[in-house]
Amino acid sequence: MFKKYFAFTVISMETNKRTNLLYSFYQALSEHFGDMQSLLANAMPLIEDYIGADRVFYYDWLDKKSVLSLKIMCEGKKVYNLQEDIFVDKNSPEIIKLLQDGVMDSPSLDYPAVYVLLKWRGPQNSIRTMKTGVSMPSSLGVFRVERLKKNKPFTESEKEILIELARELSSRINLTEVDMYHSAQLKRAEALNKLSAVFATSLRLSDSLQEILLSIQDAFRFDRTSLYLCDPKTNDIIEGYSVDLSGEVKTLEIGPNIKKKLVADASNSDIRLMIPLSVQGKNLGFMCFDNVLSRTPIKKGEVLSLKQFSSQIALAIDNARLFEKVQELSNYDDLTGLALRRFFKENLAQEIYRSKRFNLVFSLILLDIDYFKQINDTYGHLFGDEALKSVSTIIKESLRQTDLPCRYGGDEMVILLPRTTGEEAKHIAARLLKRVKEISLPADLSGGKEVKLSISQGIAVFPTDSDEMSNLFKCADDALYHVKQGGRGFYALYEDVKKK
């Protein structure tokens, strides 16, 4: 009778001890942890202490790869981040036992060590779950608990305690991941709300795209976020931009069949996503998101959030395009398509500032159409307008993208040639003169008479001739006056005129 009572007393004491230990573990982990890393960093020293272990390791179980990926080690209650992958055979008797019983002795180490299973279900399924409708399996992790003394193996009671600790920790991991999910959702909402400023403000398109990419990348932290724009008329991709975890926005090269490839990549993958951007049936482009490097599945909540905001993103892009079109109309002449005087002067002032700062050179060509007033008086304004448009077209087609031609007034035009010397400007002036002389104007506007055009040009160079805007114009005007006095239909460099 005494023996039975003694045995019952021992069992009761052990049960109470285990209950107190589990309650202590529960209390220690009941506070809020920002992420799983912090939770494990607090839990592992407790496990080490409760079970009398020398070391505790935590592994992520990457089921698809059949890999145990080491993340954290605890030794002497100090926690270290580590990285090591162990390949496992899911069909081996040891792994089957671990999955069934939740614990197994290490089959390979020559000192006592046990593997303990953690199992929890995260708050979100992946993009593939949305496509297939099949639930994803629970997330798995593994502890390896070690004693370095060979004469201290883990008892069955200690293994049971480890299983109980793993269950409690699995529950805490699940709660932490739910908290992380809601925190991420809140952060996404805050970051995406920042886009309201983009949606409501008329910005340049390039600024809008950068704001959109950076805001989304900050909210979702994909490996890469990309945005592609389509031509409204042809529906072909005309430009693309991307941002990765570094936060640097890059311009993408657009190759042939790129859209087809992106669609194919995203269609059967849970680490890639493609969302179209459209407004009132008008296709503006699409956004792509991928976790190709990390191989992290894109979650259902992320997909829903991005789809929710895709129409607003498309609207922001459409507004920015409309704003740029309005800006272009206000900065360029309707008849010739050349910049207007105000816009030209703003750019010239910037070029002067840049050239002074970096010790650069640029040239100005001031030109007008020879005898334009007589042409207008003789053949009428319709013919004069056609002459202006034809000369302007030749100018635009003969210049580089960095050059800026302007209709300064009437038939007078001025061209800004950045990083261009006087001699280089003379070559450009000669090319313009030759091509203008080759213009063929419609004879029906001139009463059947063939009318040939020519231009006179004066060239000034910064800073050789002047480093101030009005004086530079005066130098170009003096050179132009010299050409007109000499018979027109030619060009002159102010420096050459000054010598004469």
pLDDT 10s digits, 272-309: 999 999 888 888 999 999 999 888 888 887 888 888 77
* C-beta separation of 103 from 117 below 8 A: yes
- Asked if residue 415 has pLDDT above 50, the reply is yes
Label residue 202 by pLDDT band (50, 70, 90).
very low
Record the tokens describing residue 435, joined without a space: 């091509």
Give 448-463 pLDDT, tens digit per residue: 888 899 999 999 999 9
- Same domain for 205 and 103: no
- Same domain for 353 and 290: no
- Has residue 451 been placed in a domain? yes
Distance CA(183)–CA(189), nearest Å, equals 10
Domain count, the chain: 3
- Same domain for 357 and 313: no
- Asked if residue 2 has pLDDT above 50, the reply is no
- What is the model's pLDDT at position 372? 93
Say what percent of the chain tops pLDDT 70.
88
The CATH number of whichever domain residue 288 belongs to comes to: 3.30.450.40
- Has residue 6 been placed in a domain? no
- Has residue 10 been placed in a domain? no
Which amino acid is residue 33, in one-letter code?
F
Angle between helices 156-200 and 2-28 (to 10 degrees): 20
Q: What residue ranges in 14-128 does DSSP mark as E strands? A: 55-62, 67-75, 78-87, 103-105, 113-120
Record the tokens describing residue 336, joined without a space: 């010739």
User: Which of the listed residues 299, 325, 351 is the one where a domain comes to its end?
Assistant: 325
Give the length of the chain: 500
- What is the model's pLDDT at position 5? 45
- Has residue 71 been placed in a domain? yes
Give 373-409 pLDDT, tens digit per residue: 999 899 998 999 999 999 999 999 999 888 999 999 8
- What is the model's pLDDT at position 80? 92
The CATH number of whichever domain residue 383 belongs to comes to: 3.30.70.270
- Same domain for 24 and 171: yes
- What is the model's pLDDT at position 133? 52
> Based on C-alpha coordinates, what's the Rg of the chain?
37
- Same domain for 352 and 317: no
Phi-psi region of 207 (alpha: psi -120 to 50; beta: other; left: phi over 0): alpha
Among residues 165, 168, 66, 62, the alpha carbon closest in space to that of 114 is found at 165
- Maximal CA-CA distance, the chain: 135
- Same domain for 482 and 385: yes
Label residue 210 by pLDDT band (50, 70, 90).
confident
CA distances (Å), origin 441, targets 228, 389, 446 = 41, 10, 9
Give the least confident one: 149-158, 243-252, 308-317.
308-317
User: Which of the listed residues 183, 217, 246 is the one where a domain comes to its end?
Assistant: 183
* C-beta separation of 458 from 426 below 8 A: no
- Asked if residue 437 has pLDDT above 70, the reply is yes
Which amino acid is residue 2, in one-letter code?
F
Residue 314: what are its φ and ψ, rounded to 5°?
-60, -40
What is the average pLDDT value for the chain, to the nearest integer? 85
- Asked if residue 125 has pLDDT above 80, the reply is no
- Has residue 191 been placed in a domain? no
- Has residue 336 been placed in a domain? no
Residues in CB range of 151: below 8 A, 6 or more apart: none
> Integer distance in angstroms from the first to the last C-alpha of the chain?
132
CB atoms near residue 124 (< 10 Å): 19
- Asked if residue 268 has pLDDT above 90, the reply is no
- Same domain for 117 and 57: yes
- Has residue 249 been placed in a domain? yes
- Same domain for 155 and 23: yes
- Has residue 194 been placed in a domain? no
User: Which of the listed residues 132, 150, 183 is the one where a domain comes to its end?
Assistant: 183
405-422 mean pLDDT:
93
- Same domain for 37 and 161: yes
Distance CA(380)–CA(386), nearest Å, equals 10
- Same domain for 152 and 264: no
3-state class (DSSP) for residue 297: coil
Give the least confident one: 111-120, 224-233, 305-314, 398-407.
305-314
Residue 296 per-residue DSSP state: P
- Same domain for 268 and 311: yes
- Same domain for 431 and 394: yes
256-265 mean pLDDT:
83
- Domain hosting 410: range is 341-499
